[in-house]
Amino acid sequence: MSTQSVQKTRKPFAIALLVVIVWFGITGIFGPLFGKLSSVQENNNSSFLPKGAEATKAADVIATFSGKDSFNFPTLILFEGTTTPETFAAINAHMSTVGGLTLDGTASKISDFLAPGQQITVFPSQDGKAILANIPLDGNAISKTLSNDKPVLPEVVATLRADIKPVAEAIGLTHYVTGPGGLLGDLFSAFGTLDSSLLLTTLGVVAIILILVYRSPILWIIPLLSSLFALSTAGGIVYL
């Protein structure tokens, strides 16, 4: 083989190798940003509606009743069962310590996300069959992300649920973390898990199809990696 033929053969290979290196570099930059995309998304109900919709206008009016710097976002804990003054006192005493709970994997405490000037309050029902605790969270603070890049609200709800469980069981009451905070926290957690499971399932199905089409144990990786690179790059650009 002549020297000229060898040079012609090496040139396309060098170009292909350069393209691969560039793609890996781009993915290394935009990939982490794609993971932060959920932190800048607006998932409230009015975001999915036209600006002229009645529900959107109602949400705008409701927002005017809240302060510009913060707004109260109640997260409720419901205790059900036969209650006594002793059980109410025990729950009230425990709820006074909830603000000091540390969120898993971070140095942040629940008190960091309480609405300014608001306190955790506990109310007994008139029929003595339930106790309701109100944890007023700061709506602006819980919309941010923690130091571990996880959203605040689901972590707060998970921490409350884990902390309250042994207390409720010890006094024979069932408990539920509910209210706007509990509902949205569980929704965020559920859809976050669903997104991961759906992505892994999709990758598995596509990989099987590509293996059958290309009939190669290696060749199928190339189009799959191309899709992942394109997805992470597009997500990173959208985040910016």
Q: What is the pLDDT of residues 58-89, one digit of tens each?
A: 767 766 655 555 578 889 999 999 899 999 99
Q: What is the DSSP string of 111-171?
A: GGGBPTT---EEEE-TTSSEEEEEEEEETTGGGSB-TTS-BHHHHHHHHHHHHHHHHHHHT
Q: Give the side-chain half-sphere CA count within 13 A for 177.
A: 23
Residue 82, CA distances (Å) to 131, 172, 173, 176, 240 in order: 10, 8, 7, 15, 54
For domain 66-191, the CATH architecture is 2-Layer Sandwich (3.30)
Q: What is the pLDDT of residues 190-204, one digit of tens each?
A: 776 666 677 788 888
Q: What is the pLDDT of residues 148-166, one digit of tens each?
A: 888 899 999 999 999 999 9
Burial grade of 135 (CB within 10 A; 0-12, 13-18, 19 or more): buried
pTM: 0.60
